[in-house]
């Protein structure tokens, strides 16, 4: 069964739409992907990862944490992890 997740990020009144897919092919095999990637007003998605429970989205030049940001999307809400991410990097 193929499940499509729709995520809308709103940045200073402008929406960015990103479509994620997660498909369970068999009990042992899963396939995930991104059907579109958007660049908008200097905000660029650098990388997207699925850990089996939620999406981790790394951004460049975003309002989430300055130059680099990290957010978590679980299908229902977006959590900004940028501050924790920067604390881990600085030691």
Q: Which H or E run contains 16?
A: strand 14-26
Domain residue ranges of the chain, discontinuous segments joined by +: 2-90
The pLDDT tens digits for 18-31 are: 555 556 666 666 65
Report the b/e string of 22-56 with b at 16+ CB within 10 A.
beeeeeeeeebeeeeeeeeeebebeebebeeeebe
pLDDT of residue 39: 32
Three-state DSSP class for residue 48: strand
Q: How far apart are CA 54 and CA 44, in angstroms?
A: 20
Q: Look at the pTM and tell me if it is higher than 0.75.
A: no
């Amino acid at each position: 069964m193929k499940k499509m997740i729709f995520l809308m990020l709103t940045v200073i009144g402008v929406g960015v739409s990103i479509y994620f897919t997660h498909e369970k092919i068999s009990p042992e095999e899963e396939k995930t992907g991104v059907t579109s990637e958007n660049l908008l007003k200097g905000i660029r998605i650098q990388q997207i990862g699925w850990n089996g429970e939620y999406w981790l989205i790394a951004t460049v030049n975003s309002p989430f944490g300055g130059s680099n940001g990290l957010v978590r999307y679980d299908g229902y809400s977006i959590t900004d992890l940028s501050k924790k991410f920067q604390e881990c990097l600085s030691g």
